[in-house]
Amino acid sequence: MIIAVFVAFFLFIGLGFDYFYLNFNPMGATQLGMNADGYYQARAPGAGASIPFGTIIALLVGLGMSMNSLINGPGMVLRSTMARRAVSSNEKEHQFLNIVAEMSTASGLPAPAAYVVPDSDLNAFATGTKPENSVIAVTEGLLGTLNREELQAVVAHEMSHIGNRDMLVSTVVVILVGVIQLLADFFLRSLRWRGGDNDRNGVHPIFLLIGIALAILAPIAGMLIQLAVSRKREYLADASGVLLTRYPDGLASALGKLAQDHTPMRQANHATAHLWLDDPYQGKKKTIGWFANLFMTHPPIEERIKALKETRV
């Protein structure tokens, strides 16, 4: 439903661009005339564009960006975090590989590739567009700090993201938000040189103000919906992970250690922040007010721990 709303919103912004920028007006683009031989249709002078070129081009660009993300997205995420394959020669990484295999069997999903991120912060993430090309990555700090039960709970959480197809949902939402922001930015920039042409092209100032307001609010609304989707998926992955391990205290204990760790994360960026087990920028802060929560990619870690401690399996 959220994706459908995004698509409708995206089309609305594209049509708004055509109307305000190209003077798109299909109803007034032609006029009916008559001559001695009968009726004919003639182009109305100055009627504006009869085809929504902006919307069509925006859709094609959005589809291209979506296909690129679906094909190359997982590799781009791994390269951005400098993740490497886990090796069995290392004791902790060997344990990590065994746990991934165990949770794959428990979930009935193909075993994801296991990667290690060279970072001393405590965190983990899963990526991939389908179970067959999925990846679970953990930081070196996480491997060195968590015990086996806690690491198993974290892997189960990330395995749940894969089983619930959260990565595909997140990719689609991110792409739609990005295209909306691109269109809004292009619309605002076009006003700088379009200037006084609005009156000549018949654009009413009221509609122009509405268009500017939509261009400003569209990226903000898109970002808030994106973050809301991410927060809901984290709660779902917590619950689904507990069903795999049958031990809610394991994930609660792991999250508790994440909350106590204040090591700065070097391999994170804002584009991938929603993928991590906990927000690498805001998740460990104590700002849990309602306004701060609107701009967090994850639920407050204290609330997640509280929900897990109340779970009965």
Rg (CA), the chain: 25
The values of phi and psi at residue 148, to 5°, are -65, -45
Task: Return the amino acid letter for 253.
Answer: S
Q: How far apart are the first and last CA of the chain?
A: 30
Kindly report the number of other CB atoms within 10 A of residue 90's CB atom: 14
Catalytic residue among 102, 158, 234, 302: 158
The values of phi and psi at residue 276, to 5°, are -75, 160
User: What are residue 39's DSSP bridge partners?
Assistant: 34
Whether the Cβ atoms of residue 242 and residue 248 lie closer than 8 Å to each other = yes
Q: What is the DSSP letter of 90?
A: S
Whether the Cβ atoms of residue 302 and residue 147 lie closer than 8 Å to each other = no
Whether the Cβ atoms of residue 237 and residue 166 lie closer than 8 Å to each other = yes
Whether the Cβ atoms of residue 153 and residue 251 lie closer than 8 Å to each other = yes
Active site residue 158: yes
CA distance linking residue 49 with residue 39, whole number of Å? 23
Could you list the active site residues?
A: 158
